[in-house]
Structure 1
Amino acid sequence: MTKTKILVLHPNPDNLDEIIKKANTQNTKNGPFEAVLLLGVHDLTPASTVPQVPTYYCGKTAEEANFTDKAENLVCVSGACPILKLGSGVKIGFLSRNAGDVVGEADILVSFHWPYAVARTQGLSVIGEQEVDEVSLKLQPRYHFAVGTEKGRFYEHPAFQWSTSRACRMISLGQEGSGNKWFYAFSIDANEDDTFVDGKNPYTTQDTSAPVVTEKTAEPTKLQPLKRPAEETEDAAKRPKVVAPQECFFCLSNPNIESHMIVAIGKHSYLATAKGPMPLPQRPLDFSGHAIIIPFDHTPTLEDQSEQREEMAKFQKTVAEGFYERSFATIFFQISRPENVHIHTQLIPVRLEGAQEQLERSLAERTKQNNEKATYRQQLSFTSDPKEVKEILETNNFIRFVLSMGDQIKVYAAQLSSEKPVDLQFPRRVMSFHLKCPKRTYWDRCKQTKGQEITDCEKFKTFYKPYDFTS
C-alpha cells in the first residue's frame, strides 16, 4: 500500500526564502512529498527559492473557488472552502470565511482558527470559531490543521472518531521562530484510515469546565507550551481559570489598555471606539461610529437598578441623540450571561430610513441560519413583546438588540441557557447582514492601524462633545 506524504508548515512570512529551502531539504531527505501546506498566511511575496513540491496557502475570501499560481509551485487557494484533489486521490479543503454549503468529505482541512469545540477544551475559546466546527462536521477531515493566532502554538488534540471507519487528528502549529513546533510531516492513504483513536469527539462532548478567555490572555507575549490534554482537563476541573482585571482588555486597571480608543469616561463606565469597526464612514459621518460602552466593574452581567446600568443607559441615550440628529438610527447589542468575562454593550449607527424593517429582516435571517445549520448551538428565538422582553432581561442570560430612532425605542431579546454553546459572533453576523458587509463579520478581518484608531477616536470625540455628560 502506497501512502501519500504531506508536509505542513507555519511560516514567518518575513523568512519565506529560508523556509522554502528547509522544505526542499526535507523533501530530498524524507520525501518525496506530494504537497506542502502553508498555514497562517493569506498574502505572500514569492521567495527567490523555487519550491520543489507544489506548495499551497489559503488566500483571502473570494466568491468563487480559485487556484492562482503566484510563482512556480506556489499556489494561492481562494474561495469559501475549495477542495483540492491530489493525484493520489487525497482531498484537501482550504477554509477561508463564510463557507456556505460545503458538501462531500475531505481528508485534510486547513483553517486559520481552531474549531471552537477543540478550543473550548483548552480554555481558549477566543481562538476558536464555530463556523469552523460547521465545516469540520460536514467534511469530517482525517487531519485538521490550524494556528488560531498569528504566532500560533503547538497542540495536538487526541485522535477521535467521526464514525467506526473514520477518525480525525486536529493539530495546531506555532509560527517558525516562535519557539513552538512549526512543521509537521505525515503519511496518509486516500483509501484507508488506520488512525489509533484515544480521545473523545469534542464535537459531541460538551466541556463546561473550560472558561471563555479573551484574546489578550489567549496569546501572551511569550507563548507557553500547553499541557497534555489529560493534565489540562484535570486542572481545569480542579481550578477553573479566570481572567483577572489586570489581564482583561476592557478593564481600566489593565496596564496595557488601549487608552487611545477611549472617547469619554464617566463615574461608573466609559465609552470607547471598537476594534475592527464594522461600518465604514457613512456621510455625513466621517468616522465609523462603531463603539462600546463598558462598565468599570469586572463582571459578567449587570445588576438591575445599578449605578453602572443607569450610566451606561445615559451613554446610550446621548450617543443615539447625536446620531439621530444626523439622520441615523442606532443599534445597540449585548450578550449577557454568567460565562462572560466583562459585560459590555456595542453600538453601531445605521441609516434611519427602513432601519426597523432591515433589522428585523437581518435578525430573522441570521436566527434561521443559526437554528438550522448549527444544531449543536443554542437555538435562538427573538421576541419584541414588552412583557416577554422584561421577563428575559430579568434572567441576565440573553442576547439583546435595541433600536433607537429618536423617541422610538424597539427592543428584541432572546433567552439563553447553559445547555449548549452560544455563537458569540451572532450579533456581528446580524449587523454584517444589516450593513451588507459580510467580509467585516469578524473584527480581526477589519483591524485598523493604531494611527487609524486614533483618528477614528478623535473624530468620534468631536461628534460626541455636544452630548458628553462626563465633561
Structure 2
Amino acid sequence: MSLKVSLTSNSKFKGVDILLTSPWPKEVWNYGNAPTDIDVKTCGSASVASLAATLKPRYHFSALQGANYERLPYRNHLVLQENAQHVSRFIALASVGNPGKKKYIYAFNIVPMSGTDSAELVKQPLDVTENPYRKSGKDEKKTQRSKALEEEEPAQQFFFDLNRQQGKKRQSDGRGGHQGKQPKKHPQPTGPCWFCLASPEVEKHLVVSIGEHCYVALAKGGLTSDHVLILPIGHYQAMVDLSSDVVEECEKYKASLKKFYKSKAKRYVMFERNYRSQHLQLQVVPLPLSCCATDDIKESFIVQAQEQNIELLEIPVHTDIKQIVQPGTPYFYVELDNGEKLFHRIKKNFPLQFGREVLASEAILNIPTRADWRACKLSQDEEESQVKAFRKDFEPFDFSLED
C-alpha cells in the first residue's frame, strides 16, 4: 500500500517500467490467453493484482508458480473514454534448471518511460486486449463482484420459474425483519416482453435452438430466410447487462453460426441496437461470400453512417463492449465475421432500421425494399416452414444438442 501511495501521489505519474513480484496477480489471464500449466482457481494474489492495476507496469515479472506464461499485452485505458496509455505485459518465468526445460530467462530491451516519445509510448499492438483487472465498466468501484452475484442462478427455459431466489437463509434481527441483503433477483421486464422465453407473448414457433442461457430464433420479417437472432432466455436489455455465463453461451452460439454459415459459403454480420428496445436482440445476418468482402461491408456501414451524421467508430478487436459503455447507455454495435467491431454511442435520435438499411442497400444485398422488417412479414405457416428447414441444416453445428 505504501508503494502505491508514494508513487501515485505524484500527479504526473504514468506508470512504472518494470514490476517484480513473487506471486502472480490474480486473474491476470482475464480477456487474454489462459495459462495451461497452473490451476487458475487457486493461483494469484488479489493484492498483487491491485498493485499492478495501480502501477501500470510496462513489464511485470513473476516466478512463484514455476511455470512459463506470457500474457498478451493489455491496455491501461478505457477505449473512447480515456486518453491512450502505454500497454502492459505480464511474463511469468519457470524455475531455473526445471526438468521440463521451460523458459526461465527473458531477454528484452527497454527505453525508460521518461525517455520515450509520448506517441511511441502509447502505440497499441494488434494483439492488445482489455485490462484483466477491470471486471466491467464499473471499475471505479475497485471491488470484486460479490459472491452472491457470481453464484446467481441463470434463468431456466420456457415456463420454468425465473424468480427463484438463491443464497443462504438470513438471520432474523429479532424485530420481524432480517439481517443482510436480499438475494439478487434476476432482472424482470416492466411489462409484456416479446422475447423472454418464459413470456406468453414470445412466438415460440420461431425458435430453432435452445441452450442453458440463450436461444436462437428466426428473425421475424428477416432480411433473408436464414437471418436469425441470438437472445438471452431471461430478461436482459443489452449485451452490457449480461452475466458471464450468458456471455459465454452467446459466444458459443456465435461460433456455431459462423461455422454453419461458412458451410453455406456465407459470412455473417452481427449488430445490436440498444435504443428503444426492451430485450437484447443480437441480429445475425448471413451474406454470400460472392456478395462482397468484409472490408466492403465495413466501408458501407461507415459511409452510410456519415451520410446520416452518425459517428460510427472502429474499436479494437479484443475490446469488451462492457469496457466502453455503462449499462443503461444507448448504443449501436456491429461485429464483422473477422472480429472487427464498429460502435456508436447514441445521444439522441437514431434510425431504428439503420443496421438493416445498410445490409439491404445496393452496395451489399441490393434489396432496399426489405430494409423495414414490417414489409417482410410472412404467414405463420411460411415461418414454420423456414424454421424447420433452418433447424435441420443447423443441427450438425448446434452445440445445445450435444450430450
Q: TM-score range by the shorter chain?
A: 0.3 to 0.5
When the two structures are superposed, what TM-score results if normalisation uses the length of structure 1? 0.41
When the two structures are superposed, what TM-score results if normalisation uses the length of structure 2? 0.48
**1 or 2 for the larger relative contact order (CA 8 Å, sep ≥6)?**
2
Structure with a larger share of its residues in strand: 1
